[in-house]
Amino acid sequence: MSFFSPNTLGFVARLLERETIIGLAVFGAIVATTGSFLLHHYERDSLAKKRLARLVLRIGYGITWLSVSLFIIVGFIGSPTNLNN
């Protein structure tokens, strides 16, 4: 019995594709830029708005670092098609 089902391997292979990694990097950059803009925009507003802006910024950084991590993983294992073999 395999630990990974074929559906799981398909998801992982799709996650490790070049287009997905680039899309995550761009999306993370957009979210981080939005968070930075909100942080500067809410500079003099309430603490709750600052916390929300900081959360958006950190989520953007997290998505960007996820794409960097996936890029490194792909570098170690090679092409996502190697997962099927």
Per-residue pLDDT of the chain (85 residues; tens, 9 = 90+): 455 566 667 777 788 888 999 999 999 999 999 999 999 888 777 888 889 999 999 999 999 999 999 999 898 887 655 555 5
pLDDT digits (tens, 9 = 90+) for 31-42: 999 999 999 888
Does any domain span residue 85?
no
Tell me if 1 is assigned to some domain: no
| Distances in whole angstroms, Cα of residue 10 to Cα of each of 22, 23, 83 | 18, 18, 9
pTM for the full predicted model: 0.76
12 lies in some domain: yes
User: What residue numbers bound the domain in which 71 lies?
Assistant: 6-77
**Inside any domain, residue 60:** yes
How many domains are contained in the chain?
Answer: 1
At residue 19, the pLDDT reads 92
Q: Residue 48 domain-assigned? A: yes
Q: Which of 62, 77, 74 minimizes the C-alpha distance to 21?
A: 74
Is residue 83 in some structural domain? no
Q: Residue 44 gets which letter from DSSP? A: T
